[in-house]
Chain A
């Protein structure tokens, strides 16, 4: 009943967002079944036009574009999701620790984050990747660390707001330990903003990884990956062929969908304050 009412009060944009996210999830999970050809399978000539055997043509090496778009959902979204989860683990554990312990723990963690945020994250990421070299693991770890700084700030700030509540003081006076207080008193009260933040961080990680792939520093070939596919086929644009826009649109549609849902979540959480 609660759910039904929530769905009815949902704006059109949020509903659309949820549907789109569901479609992407299905495509990513069932990619091997849905894709007509293999991920790296060369099936035709270079840059074959749309229609015929290849619904949206072939790419610069003669691989089926549609198949690669479908495999790309799995690779690009999967890597971005892993990155976000890692960023959340790092950011929220550090943030909760800083809020609960205060003092020097908070000092040190906050100063590290200040330093990491004192530079645009793409620049740091480029620097780190050039030092560490390419590779999926390096990519995930570097982007996750950069992304975790924002999670840290949000978790720390919201947890601090809860930590000053009298019910937390009551728990401290009772003699409860730090982790009990975090788990039972703090976490249940900050889940709403955290869920919205997860969406935002996913978008950020997803766009960053796509941008890096586009720059040739992301997922290594022959993995199908939307950012890299734009790069591989970019030259077609000058000939008036919109094929390279397809993978870019795949990225854009998903981030728009996630952002629509997050926007609605944030609006709901802020209640009537606005």
Chain B
């Protein structure tokens, strides 16, 4: 056995003292084996992964247990010995390569630092090895790639360069901490392929940390499920995918079952909002080029695209925050003033917005009552008893008990509850149309599904139309009637969900769909065979 973590306890510093965040966890890794760690945020995956290097992040401390590497306890080692061990025997790949590379050093220098301080190779040898790895990872111009600085390289390439750097000392074990989470799906697939190829060709053991079930299925031989600093269960990947034992694991597996049937809309259904030939940008930079689509009354239109595709900019044009350079926005057939300031109170009331981060969408210093009663008073002049009645009605609609929640501050609510308050604030205006900006992507999967169900029920009850901005195809499949696919600020394809997605009509849609990892352990192998990466 290579790594044997026994009954590990880790504590975090808080205002009042130290609170445990890992409650005695075991983890075994054999030579050449890849173990997946999966769980929702706060499960303690990263803390456990970093413990494999004998490292506790600032504000954390080890409170018990053993971390045995080939039988030696990392916790009872001297700092010097542990430093000799880190990087040489166990290496680490961080989530954000852009932040984790030193901006003042060339990539090759950072690659060679490990071998130099650990004395595992001469400078010449490690430079040659770097070029070899860069080539293996399909990085452009591998002979000169290392001469660049981190800011001169794209995100996907940087992440691959970090994988290469982790291999510089030919370690026995590499900890991958969500290495593709920050990347777009079409970039992610290439990085996944590179990681797998590199790990296999060197025979390195690995701990692969992710919250994405489909990703871990591609990478790991064995999977450990974690929750709230404890192990839920552990089994070989295929076994666990086929037959999860614990309820919690099953719930993770089952989250993607919500599917709202696509509703067929008449061709002449009146449009709630029409984006008419909008071109917009910031200064000289053009972000949107001639964007055209409409959102029928009572329907859900999903706008999909990767980062930089212009989805959010479109929302800013609709709300009037960013007046377009040409084109306009229509609501119920009438052209809206381009600037927010020129719109009437009633026009403003009709268009509401729900945000991705419920944390920044609610003022932390206002109670839920204050947050929700402002739109009631502002738009409809409700006060006193009428206001209280409507408040209770809204809380019932979002399935939160009014008595319990109205006088709390947002900080006292969970992520899902906060997102529900965001929904209630939008509903309080009795809008015609709501923009949902990545409303589920910051939430854990079970909670996210609850939000999708709630939104779809509210639509049935009130007849509001939704524009659903998302990068996640599964969300689109779950809730949309129509789909708009965007890339580089242009609409690639639009139409009914079934027409656009099944089978994909536009080549870019096809690429997007094919890049989304599937919870099938053979998916990546198949995609590589098809020549995707």
Contacts and interface: CB of A to CB of B under 8 A. Distances in A.
Is A–B contact present in the complex under a CB 8 A cutoff? yes
B199 to A, nearest CB: 35
B385 to A, nearest CB: 23
B375 A174 contact: yes
B321 A172 contact: yes
A167 B352 CA distance: 12
Interface string A160-201: 000001110110111110000000110011000000000000
A3 interface: no
A185 B340 contact: no
A174 B340 CA distance: 10
Given A170-B353, A188-B365, A165 B319 contact: no
Given A165-B360, A166-B357, A173 B340 contact: yes
Interface in B320-379: 320-321, 340, 343, 345, 348, 351-353, 355, 357, 360-366, 374-375, 378-379
Contact of A170 (B15, B361, B365): B361
A167 B361 contact: yes
A173 B426 CA distance: 11
A173 B348 contact: yes
B351 A166 contact: no
Interface size class, chain A:
10 to 19
A174 B321 contact: no
B469 to A, nearest CB: 14
B425 interface: yes
B13 A272 contact: yes
User: Interface on chain A toward B: helix, strand, loop, or mixed SS?
Assistant: helix
A179 B357 CA distance: 25
Contacts of A9: 15
A15 B263 CA distance: 67
A167 B59 contact: no
Interface size class, chain B:
20 to 34
Contact of B425 (A170, A172, A185, A272): A170
A160 to B, nearest CB: 14
Given A166-B357, A272-B59, A173 B364 contact: no
Nearest to B344: A175
Contact of B340 (A167, A172, A188, A189): A172
Interface string A200-218: 0000000000000000000
Contacts of B366: 184, 188
Given A166-B355, A166-B360, A173 B319 contact: yes
Nearest to A191: B365
A176 B378 contact: yes
Contacts of B14: 272
B363 A185 contact: yes
Contacts of A173: 319-321, 340, 348, 351-353
A255 B321 CA distance: 46
A174 B378 contact: yes
B143 to A, nearest CB: 42
Interface of A: 9, 165-167, 169-170, 172-176, 184-185, 188-189, 272
Given A165-B361, A167-B362, 5 more contacts: A166-B361, A172-B340, A174-B348, A175-B378, A188-B365
Interface of B: 13-15, 59, 319-321, 340, 343, 345, 348, 351-353, 355, 357, 360-366, 374-375, 378-379, 425, 429
